[in-house]
Amino acid sequence: MGNHQQLNDRSLQLLKTLVERYINDGQPVGSRALSKDSDLQLSPATIRNVMADLEDLGLISSPHTSAGRVPTVSGYRLFVDSLLTVKRLQNKELENLTQRLINPLNESDDILGTASKLLSDVSQMAGVVTLPKRESVNLRHIEFLPLSNNRVLVIFVTAEQEVHNKIIQPSKEFSLSELQHAANYLNSIYSGKSLASVRQAVLNEMEQAQQQLNQQMLDAISMAQLAFNSSSENDDYVLSGETNLMGFSELSDMDRLKQLFDAFSQKRGVIHLLDQCLEADGVQIFIGEESGYSAFEQCSLVTSPYSVNDEVVGVLGVIGPTRMAYEKIIPYVDVTAKLLGAALNSKS
């Protein structure tokens, strides 16, 4: 990124104008079009020189069929990080989002679908919302029941009265009374804590407590470790409006679309990508190949985490072409994440 320090205000202003024009009309931008732009007040010769510099720095490139230039991923990145003027949502837009999401008739499962559809509608692209991570629910009670072949059925009840079952395979055989001891011990320490914090505490105990704990407690902790081992099987998300992506010329190549829709249906890569956004503070943007995911090379992903009771539980966002109106999409994603958190909070 060091090259970008060389850019003066004039070059940056020209890059900003070029990116905005390209986002707006999807056509490569020529020096003639830019020289007519009164804000720049530069001669055509100066504009050509500046464009040559921007191209040397890898910020714009020329598609072979045209005399104009288009932004590269680096060009978009510089634009998004340094040159973008994010537009605040108008009151009417805000009211519309609030009404559709914080609606007393909404059932919790459906709120996620509504949020996904909402993002798709306002962006005219694809909206995606990951389901809240199960770790964010609180443990109320755990039981262990012996099965054949050393296997153990784990039953844990959450504070929301949901019952989850899981079969684990401890390294040794346990009697019913040993399993009851283990459950009593775990319930006495961890009841009321979130599954995520239970998992963390269990790991810490394993490391610290080898010396102080008796064998029974160690057994209980190792069982808990198996029981709360993060399983990615339940990771999932709600996607809306993916067919909108077929309307963008840069994504309409059949092979590219097929790759994209395969990625959506397999989910793993997309989930992995969205999981990276859980750690982010506020809106995060992946442009083109920054996602590290070949199906998304022509796409950008604008995401924001959402929280329940101040704990981040999921991510939502918009997937569209790299040529998207970032200044509009960013506030939509940001506000929708806050509203979804508020809607889920009011239910919990």
Give the model confidence (pLDDT) of 15-43 as tens digits.
Answer: 999 999 999 988 899 988 898 876 778 88
* Least confidently predicted of 139-153, 190-204, 322-336: 190-204
CATH architecture of the domain 135-232 equals: 2-Layer Sandwich (3.30)
Alpha helices in 152-253 (DSSP H): 176-190, 195-208, 215-227
If you average pLDDT over every residue of the chain, what do you get?
A: 84
Residue 17: predicted pLDDT = 93
- Residue 231 pLDDT exceeds 70: no
Q: So where are the chain's domains?
A: 2-83, 91-132+235-347, 135-232
Residue 232: predicted pLDDT = 45
Residue 15: closest CA among 71, 68, 58: 71
Q: Report whether 336 contacts 282 (CB < 8 A).
A: no
User: What gap in Å lies between CA 69 and CA 7, rounded to an integer?
Assistant: 18
CATH 3.30.450.40, applies to 91-132+235-347: yes
Residue 345: predicted pLDDT = 78
Residue 326: predicted pLDDT = 96
User: What gap in Å lies between CA 167 and CA 154, rounded to an integer?
Assistant: 6
> pLDDT tens across 134-170, in order?
666 678 888 998 888 888 888 888 776 677 777 888 8
For tokens 């992506």, what's the residue?
A: 245
Higher pLDDT, 29 or 207: 29
For tokens 């003066």, what's the residue?
A: 8
User: What gap in Å lies between CA 87 and CA 143, rounded to an integer?
Assistant: 52
* DSSP strand pairing (60-61 vs 70-71): antiparallel
Higher pLDDT, 300 or 107: 300
- Residue 1 pLDDT exceeds 50: no
Q: Report whether 144 contacts 152 (CB < 8 A).
A: yes
Other C-beta atoms within 10 Å of 228: how many?
26
User: What gap in Å lies between CA 5 and CA 322, rounded to an integer?
Assistant: 24
Instruction: Please tell me the CATH code under which domain 2-83 is placed.
Output: 1.10.10.10
Sheet of strand 237-240, all strands in order from the earlier edge strand to the far edge = 237-240, 126-130, 311-321, 299-308, 284-287
| Token pair listed for 293 | 């995911």
Confidence of residue 347 (pLDDT cuts 50, 70, 90): low
Q: Check if 91-132+235-347 and 135-232 are the same fold.
A: no
User: What gap in Å lies between CA 257 and CA 149, rounded to an integer?
Assistant: 48
Confidence of residue 322 (pLDDT cuts 50, 70, 90): very high
Q: What does DSSP assign to residue 147?
A: -
- Residue 297 pLDDT exceeds 70: yes
